[in-house]
Each structure stands twice: as C-alpha cells, then as structure tokens.
Amino acid sequence: MRRLDAIPMNKLNRVIPFLTWIKFLLILAIVFFVWNDDLRSTPIRLVDTDATEETQRLYRNLMELSPKYTLFGHQNTNLYGVNWVEDDDNSDVYEVTGAFPAVYGYDFLSIGIAEYFKAERTATYDDFIRYAKWAAEKGSVVTFGWHQPNPVTRGSFYDKTPALHTLLPGGDNHEEYKGQLDKIAHFFKQVAPSPIIFRPFHEHNGDWFWWGKGFCTEEDYRALWQFMVRYLRDEQGVNNVLYAFSPDRSRINLDHFETEYLYAYPGDDYVDILGLDNYWDLGHEANKRSKAERLEDLTRSLELLNALGESKGKLTALTETGLEAIPEPKWWTETLLAGINATEQSRKIAYLMVWRNANRERENMEHFYAPYKGHSSAADFIEFKNDESILFEDELPDLYSN
C-alpha cells in the first residue's frame, strides 16, 4: 500500500477535497435513507419487543395514518343487527353504507370464558377465531374487550363487590384467573400472527364495574394489569397483542386531564394505545351542558388525549363512543365528525368505535349505536362515511405491509 507521505503535495491537495465530498455524499445518502425509511415512520416501542411483524406494521401504519384519517369501528357488527340475527356476513353498517367497518369490536365474555347476556352468546369460541382471521384477511382491525363477571360472587360485571385483589398472586381467585388468561392466550395464538387490540379493565375510573374506582386500590389495579401483560407475553408467549388503556371521559375534569386520565395507569411499558371511552360529550342524557359546549368539550378531550399520546409516543383512539338510538338525524356529521375534525390536534386519533346494535325482537330494547336501514340518521351516516377523513373497510390501505 502506498504511504500518504509518498504522495506529492499537489496531488494530495486534490485528493483530500475529493475524499471530503465523497464522505459528505455518503453521509447525505445515509441520512436520506434513514429519514425516508425510519423517521418517516414514527419510531415505536411496543409493550412486546418480540411482537409479530404484522403487529408492528399495523401499529406503525396506524401511526402514519392518524394525523389525517380515522378508522371507523362498530362493536359486534356482524353478530346481529336491529332487525336480523344469525347471519355473520351481514351488518347494519353494511346494509346502510355497502361497506363493513374498518374496526371490528368483540368481547371475550362472548366466547365461553364465562356466562353473559344471551344476546351476546350467538357465536362460539371457534367462530370468533374465524371472525378475527376473516377481518384481518380483509385488511381490517380487530379489538377485544373483556366484560369479566365478578370473580367473587360469579355475578355480573356490574356487581361491585370488591374482587380485583383476589386475582393478584396469592389471592383466592388467582389460579382461576390464570386459567381464564390461558383461554385468552390460546385464542390469540390461534389468530397469530395477525394482531388483536386487547382492551381489558376499561372505564376503571368510573364506579359501575367491580374493577372500578372505589372497589379496588390504584396500586392493585396497576399490579393486576402488569401481571396480566407479563403472563400473556412472557409465560404464554403471546406476541400479537396491542394493549389499550381506556378510562371514561365522564370522570375526567378537562382542566386536570393528564392527572385524572393517568389514574392507575400501568406504565408506558405496559400500554400501547391510549384510549378514551367518551359517550359523555356526544349527547349523554346526564350531561346537561349545551350542544355547543359538549362539542367544544369533545374536541378539547381529543386534543388533550392526542397531546398526551404524542408525549409518550403512543397511538390514541376513541375506544368507545356513540349516542344510543341516535335520535339526532345529523349527529354523525354535526357532532361526531365535527368534534373530531375541529382542529389538526383533535383529529389525530387512529380509530373510533361505536357500541353494538342490539336485536330488537330478541332483546326487546332500542339499544343501537349505528343506524340500520331506514333509520333517520342513515343518510347522514353515509355522508359521514364519505368524508375523506373517515375510513371504512373498503377504503383501507394495506395495514399489514410495509
């Protein structure tokens, strides 16, 4: 190899600037490719560092979409409708718009883990595995909640007998709880590698579930959530789950949003999605503020949620919302859409999910959150669907690719 000091100075002066430019161009190229391939997609840190590629891609793609687009979801959309049952290729949403939701919501209490309302038990464990795979194959998102019955009394999830502490290690119902988690883990593995958004112990800052505020301590709630994640991820080897945390808006003072939202928060290492269940600002009968004030509060709640999500590098979502029976014909565009799209900050939620449509004949109740064919808000729902910021299943990009 020729020594540098053997190169004539006149040649060396030409070589050094040339090498400097080569180095500069190489650095520029590296920066470009890193920016284009990585920084363009917000860096993410999931609860599960060994998450399946499909799970990572879904999260990253939702992160990319969320500044401009919101996915629409509906609970139990293909299990039954206001005027139909037992047709899992149907949906009230589909009958009105010609498209299925982008997000399918289900509940683990519906698949044999415990007794539940008869209306919910229209599908078997295997049916739900099939539904989850079917939705993922169509490119949609699947989320599961868990309205777990009270483990002490065996009563409803509305039975507020203190029980959460009995599920912790050393508690009277800990082994039984692990058995239930085993069933859930088996479900997740059957669906893998497709991801599931899991949203347990929701609305815990309210006082209507046995896991709610006043019926367990903040420390016990946090400890149980962390145990659940570690058990599913580390003991059972479940690697296709995104964990969603979802307090209820009605128990949050917007002037103290962050502090009250983070009540019993399990920690950034145990949560992937910051959700908010908000019926309160959408026309809830107990909220006596004017429509204009509620709309302002809806927008502000989303702005605050999204700001918190950005500070933590987390996705955000309106994990439950809606107005029962939708008595306002223009509710979809003048309330829900208007509140979400009011500002650039408020619109950054990845998805929203309205609650289920109970079957009128079987359940004898007017309990529905998406319009059925012929409903007074159906035309407005189509307008809502056609807004460029709202995505249904037929408008989704490939959420599971790079």
Mean pLDDT computed over 14-19: 46
Query: 151 lies in a domain?
Result: yes
Clarify whether residues 184 and 229 are in a common domain: yes
Query: 34 lies in a domain?
Result: yes
Q: Give CA–CA dist 318/279, Å, rounded.
A: 10
Measure the CA angle with vertex 391, ends 269 and 59; round to 5°. Answer: 20
Q: Give CA–CA dist 246/265, Å, rounded.
A: 10
Query: 402 lies in a domain?
Result: no
Using the structure block, give the residue that is written with the tokens 């008595």: 327
Which of the 8 DSSP states describes residue 316?
E
The rounded mean pLDDT for the chain is: 89
Q: What is the pLDDT of residues 53-110, one digit of tens each?
A: 999 999 999 999 999 999 999 999 999 999 999 888 999 999 999 999 999 999 998 5
Residue type, 346: S
Side-chain-side CA neighbours of 51 within 13 Å: the count stands at 24
> What is the SS3 assignment for 23?
helix
Query: 204 lies in a domain?
Result: yes
Clarify whether residues 316 and 370 are in a common domain: yes
Domain enclosing residue 363, as ranges: 50-395
Radius of gyration of the chain, Cα coordinates, nearest whole angstrom: 24
Q: Give CA–CA dist 101/141, Å, rounded.
A: 9
Clarify whether residues 242 and 170 are in a common domain: yes
Specify whether the CB–CB gap between 39 and 288 falls below 8 A. Answer: no
Q: What DSSP element (H or E) covers 80?
A: strand 80-81
Res 3 pLDDT > 50? no
Clarify whether residues 151 and 200 are in a common domain: yes
Query: 16 lies in a domain?
Result: yes
Clarify whether residues 111 and 147 are in a common domain: yes
Token pair belonging to 270: 């145990």
Clarify whether residues 265 and 169 are in a common domain: yes
Q: What is the pLDDT of residues 263-315, one digit of tens each?
A: 999 999 999 999 999 999 999 999 999 999 999 999 999 999 999 999 999 99
DSSP secondary structure of 1-17: ---GGGS-HHHHHHHHH
Query: 400 lies in a domain?
Result: no
Q: What DSSP element (H or E) covers 97?
A: helix 92-97
Q: Give CA–CA dist 201/238, Å, rounded.
A: 19
Clarify whether residues 232 and 290 are in a common domain: yes
Clarify whether residues 104 and 217 are in a common domain: yes
Clarify whether residues 222 and 312 are in a common domain: yes
Query: 45 lies in a domain?
Result: no
Clarify whether residues 12 and 61 are in a common domain: no
pLDDT of the residue at 257? 98
**For position 88, which CATH number holds?**
3.20.20.80
Clarify whether residues 352 and 215 are in a common domain: yes
Token pair belonging to 6: 């053997």
Clarify whether residues 77 and 97 are in a common domain: yes
DSSP secondary structure of 200-260: -STTTTSSSSTTSTTSS-HHHHHHHHHHHHHIIIIIS---SEEEEE--BGGG--GGGHHHH
Tell me how many domains the chain contains. 2
Using pLDDT thresholds of 50, 70 and 90, give the confidence band for residue 188: very high
Mean pLDDT computed over 341-365: 97
Q: What is the pLDDT of residues 105-160, one digit of tens each?
A: 999 985 655 444 444 556 778 888 999 999 999 999 999 999 999 999 999 999 99
| Claim: this prediction has a pTM higher than 0.85 | yes
Q: Which of 248, 233, 237 is nearest to 201 (CA)?
A: 248
Query: 242 lies in a domain?
Result: yes
